[in-house]
Structure 1
Amino acid sequence: MSYTAEYLRKCQGLIETVATQEANILRAAEMFSKSILVGRMVHVFGSGHSRIMVEEMWPRYGSFPGFNPIVELSLTFHNLVVGANGQRQAMFLENVSGLAAQILRNFDLNELDTALVISSSGCNVVPIEMAEIFQSKGIKTVGIISKLHSEASTSKKQDGKKLQDFCDIVLDSGAPVGDAMIYVDGLETPVSPGSTVGSCMLINSIKAELANLLTQAGHPPKVLTAGAVIGAEKATEIFQAAYDEHAHRISKMYQKVGIESYVSKQS
């Protein structure tokens, strides 16, 4: 069997793992729909390469408003690798206690909001504290982890708790311990991770179920759609409308944030 065939076979296993979670995927979609239908947002966060899942949810083709993508560049800016803004700093910062509170201090969180936090290990401090803060504010939270990898890993949070300890729903990407899925002859350590594949399937399954729920509720989402599908003029119209809706939603996250001022008191 070629390594390509073996990787694809492993991905088939990820599909099977995701398929077993259909009930929880629907529960997550129902949870998110309640926030979106009342004009609030689903906060989405991931550090490191989990940022990929944040951007997979919104904004991209086939996605729609209702999500607040929290992408902290200090935790996700990987392309320089070394030097200023390098990977070492990002890996250090994602385990600094208190950073999550500083990030969320920017938003006027509300118990009508919901949240999605992604961390393959579920063991880094910032995503764990994100979920912990959401829980403390009565915000229902979904977590995406690799169950096998998380169970084999040690939390970097002082009390030993992991992301799943602060989530109402936990979804499993199906990735193995260590994430990488392929052992190459003569190479000691495995290559070709699986968590991105499994997590993206979870993200888009939630998205599909959620789009159905919003449509059935009489508020079909404004889906970012390619001009090749609906024509350039219609695509542009939808993009502008979707971005404007996002602006209307996100404005609520800043309107009454933090310390009250005469501006925040104005209707």
Structure 2
Amino acid sequence: MFEYIDQVQRLIDHLRSDQEESIKAAATVLTKAIKEDRIIHTLGTGHSQMIAMELFGRASGIANVSAMLDELLLLSNGARRSAAIEQVSGLASILWDKYNIETSDVLIIISNSGRNAIPIEMAQIAKAAGVKIIAITSLEQSKKYNSRHKSGQKLYQLADIVIDNCVPSGDGVMHMNNELFGPVSSIMGMVIVNTIVTEAIKECHRQNIPVTIYQSQNIDHTDNDRIYKQFESRIPHL
């Protein structure tokens, strides 16, 4: 019963053992960003936008996160439109200019396939600027298909740290009547980003590094206004 839950748990267990070192490395990068008061930028296209948004303005999450939420990418403007736009070259540089990403900041790019133009070009720009890049992608799927970018590169080839989300090619984990279904990349991505953030918070506490964390606005006597004012000049969507 509930095969989907069983499959998700299997992938999480695999992630925990297979990607331990990459997750630790990413947590170390985020710890440094918190310590140095740097911004952690997140980018996802398609449904990976949900993973990029997961860390932004999040109750119980760190405050120094800026999600790249341009209307060009949002699914709300049309699913087919969004899928087509992520393959268009030249748009990443426009997005980059909007967010004032500095060399000492961190950029987390989430792309399950790792083959489309926007995440690849964003990684290329960040790499040229000396920005630390953490990629979350399915290595199985990415290595199986050709890049859709003229460079022939894929996201995992450009990142400083690659975390394999351990998702099988095609995203689904269940089969019936020769059809694949049961997508898991969103769940796995959210597990990954929350794991690296919570590990970074724990390490900051071990080192007595202050961490600014949002609390739920739906709990009485919670006030995040001070945090909003602290970061609003550096984070566009606050």
TM-score by length of 1: 0.82
Deviations 1:182-221 (A, max 9, x none): 112x3x3211101111111111101111112333343432
Q: What CA distance in whole angstroms lies between the structure 1 residues aligned with 2:59 and 2:125?
A: 31
Partner in structure 1 of residue 4 of structure 2 = 7
Q: SS state of the match for residue 14, structure 2?
A: helix
Q: SS state of the match for residue 109, structure 1?
A: coil
Per the TM alignment, residue 246 of structure 1 is displaced from its structure 2 partner at its CA by: 2.3
Structure ID, larger Rg: 1
Partner in structure 2 of residue 192 of structure 1 = 182
Partner in structure 1 of residue 16 of structure 2 = 19
Q: What CA distance in whole angstroms lies between the structure 2 residues aligned with 1:191 and 1:215?
A: 41
Identity fraction in percent: 29
Partner in structure 1 of residue 120 of structure 2 = 128
Mapped contact 2:133–2:160 kept (Cα < 8 A)? yes
Q: Which runs of 5+ in 1 are unaligned?
A: 79-84, 252-267
Partner in structure 2 of residue 257 of structure 1 = none
Q: Which runs of 5+ in 2 are unaligned?
A: none
Q: What CA distance in whole angstroms lies between the structure 2 residues aligned with 1:24 and 1:179?
A: 21
1:1-267 equivalences under 5 Å are 2=1, 4=2, 6-20=3-17, 21-78=19-76, 85-184=77-176, 186=177, 188-226=178-216, 232-233=220-221, 235=222, 237=223, 239-250=224-235
Alignment-mate amino acid for residue 17 of structure 1? H
Per the TM alignment, residue 14 of structure 1 is displaced from its structure 2 partner at its CA by: 1.3
Mapped contact 1:120–1:149 kept (Cα < 8 A)? yes
Per the TM alignment, residue 121 of structure 1 is displaced from its structure 2 partner at its CA by: 0.3
Per the TM alignment, residue 89 of structure 1 is displaced from its structure 2 partner at its CA by: 1.6
The 1:222–1:13 alpha-carbon spacing in structure 2 relative to 1, beyond 3 Å, is: same
TM-score by length of 2: 0.91
Mapped contact 1:135–1:166 kept (Cα < 8 A)? yes
The 1:158–1:34 alpha-carbon spacing in structure 2 relative to 1, beyond 3 Å, is: same
The structure carrying a bigger helix percent of its residues is 1
Q: What CA distance in whole angstroms lies between the structure 2 residues aligned with 1:108 and 1:8?
A: 40
Q: What CA distance in whole angstroms lies between the structure 2 residues aligned with 1:179 and 1:207?
A: 24
